[in-house]
Structure 1
């Protein structure tokens, strides 16, 4: 695939998928053929069980592990936990709340968000332990800057600088039985897709991008924003309630669609075919539609 990408455009880092229970998320993702990492504990009440992909991107199913700590974090202005709470109050405990962009200078991103009037609040720095499948641990440190539309409750974006990357072997965590190797597209829905262009172009640091045809080309994935009717026409799925912007689907690259479909059938995962895509509807522990696409 040939992509024209604005210089400086940030790549996809990961996706945040709120869930009520990490146990339910782990079971669902395992049934979908993913290897799920051990539980990671944040110092502000949330916890995750990530799915790492060979292209460097990952999924972050996110649950509330300590309600008291989360409430205290919100009171102290922690934007990550605050936006998670806002999302859950508006959309429930299962979903797809945020798209995260990799950056090497999060301070510059925060300044850009402030200048553009899209900052969602103060920056956040934190560290947590990371453990691989063999039990080896290291410390992962992050620095985040947040962006969102005015009054947005259904989606936000943030830039993530990995201040300290864990020195652990992720190879076993990236060997998925469904053959998934990466994320090629994120699909969002909006009642006014054109209105979202400025927010997204600033967030991804591509000021000249205009989302031609509703698609923004990042270095390692596409972000497509569709109106609700177009989303339903493309995937055969309901697009949900009216929204300014809501992330709705993740398109994964897989080595062999036949292998993926056989695994889903064996694990009693209902799926449909839409063109060259295998479509799995959202379910508890899987907050977005998952689309598997064979890409040799």
Structure 2
């Protein structure tokens, strides 16, 4: 599914899940019933495996050539350096990415809405398809900041060859995963993030929840909750690192058949527990990020 088919505003595009052992993390997601793409490399020193869903994806990211990572240019943003520095502190959900039709338009919109902006970043790489063939994929990124620090990153991603990226065989999963339903930020004062998260999403659909707020995007929701709220959603060890800066605790995957998801997780032998009507895989199992399966 290409991002251009979505409704107005920006929606959830993908999540960057930074890990120290890329192959072990990819294997863990496969054991949960996800189809994981072959390893790919970025020219700036990071590598990834993806989990493609109905209109969004997970990016399991590692540092494999640290000597290639460069610091950000003055006034710029370095994806590689951000994730390298994140991994020096902890593993986990490092960056939230929304879809984009035009990265330059996003940068202009961020500026109008009072969010920090950085120069557009363009790159391309080769993607390997299930039949072994290779196709070019290319992207334009628009970075911004929500908090003052680097505990959580935010950017938009415009795809230039979506027909080469999305592959139906990679979007079929034994756990019947359909899409990313929601992502969860933890913050001491979630209400303070309301205007900035809404500006990032280009959305005015914000609702107050029992433990914070939820911004309804064009495709999924962005939640900001208190540490107590994160524990209620994802279990007792779901509040990563602590501190004053917002940080990602976990995400929820919508599945077509919750029973199939439960079977896939059980067959994989990874621990999970029912919490609030969802099946939750704890952050300790998934390299610092909690995952919850819920009915679509």
- Shift of the 194–235 alpha-carbon distance from structure 1 to 2, 3 Å rule, reads same
Deviations 1:22-44 (A, max 9, x none): 21111111111111101111111
Residue 252 of structure 1 is matched in structure 2 by 253
Q: Could you give the per-residue CA deviations for residues 129-177 of structure 1, whole angstroms, max 9, x where no partner exists?
A: 1111211211111111111135322102101111222436611111111
Question: Which secondary structure does the structure 2 equivalent of 1:212 belong to?
Answer: strand
Q: Does structure 1 retain, via aligned residues, the 8 Å contact 2:20–2:87?
A: no
| Cα gap change, 1:164 to 1:73, in 2 (>3 Å) | farther
The reply on whether 1:95 has 2:106 as its aligned counterpart is no
Q: TM-score, normalised by structure 1?
A: 0.89
SS of the residue 2:160 aligns to: strand
Q: Contact 1:253–1:294 (CA<8 Å) still a contact in 2? A: yes
1: CA distance between counterparts of 2:252 and 2:128? 27
- Measured in 2, the distance between the counterparts of 1:254 and 1:25 equals 21
Q: In the TM superposition, what is the alpha-carbon distance from 1:79 to its structure 2 partner?
A: 2.3
Distance 2:165 2:247 in 1: 34
Instruction: Please give the residue correspondences for 1:49-198 in structure 2 after superposition, counting only pairs within 5 Å.
Output: 49-53=49-53, 55-70=54-69, 72=70, 74=72, 77-89=76-88, 91-92=89-90, 94-119=91-116, 121-167=118-164, 170-198=167-195
User: What are structure 2's unaligned runs of at least 5 residues?
Assistant: 1-6
**Does the 8 Å contact 1:118/1:150 carry over to 2?**
no
Q: How many residues align?
A: 284
CA RMSD of aligned residues (A): 2.0
Question: Aligned partners of 2:260 and 2:9: how far apart in 1?
Answer: 34
1:30 aligns with 2:30: yes
Distance (whole Å) between structure 1 residues aligned to residue 43 and residue 223 of structure 2: 33
For each residue in 1:61-92, what CA deviation from the matched residue of structure 2 results, as whole angstroms up to 9, or x when unmatched?
1111211111x354685521232233223x32
* Partner of residue 4, structure 2: none
Q: How far apart in 1 are the matches of 2:219 and 2:282?
A: 24
| CA distance in structure 2 between the aligned counterparts of 1:108 and 1:52, rounded to whole angstroms | 26
Deviations 1:166-221 (A, max 9, x none): 43661111111111111111111111101111221111112x34443301111221
User: Which residue does the alignment assign to 1:236?
Assistant: 235
| Cα distance between partner residues in 1 of 2:166 and 2:180 | 20
Does residue 19 (structure 1) correspond to residue 19 (structure 2)? The answer is: yes
* Structure 2 contact 92–288 (Cα < 8 Å) conserved: yes
Is the aligned partner of 1:222 residue 2:218?
Answer: no
User: Offset of 1:116 from its aligned partner?
Assistant: 4.2
The question of whether the paired residues in 1 share the 8 Å contact of 2:283 and 2:291 is answered with yes
- Native 8 Å contact 1:254 1:260 kept in 2: yes
Q: Secondary structure at 1:16's aligned position in 2? A: strand
TM-score between the two structures when normalised by the length of structure 2 = 0.89
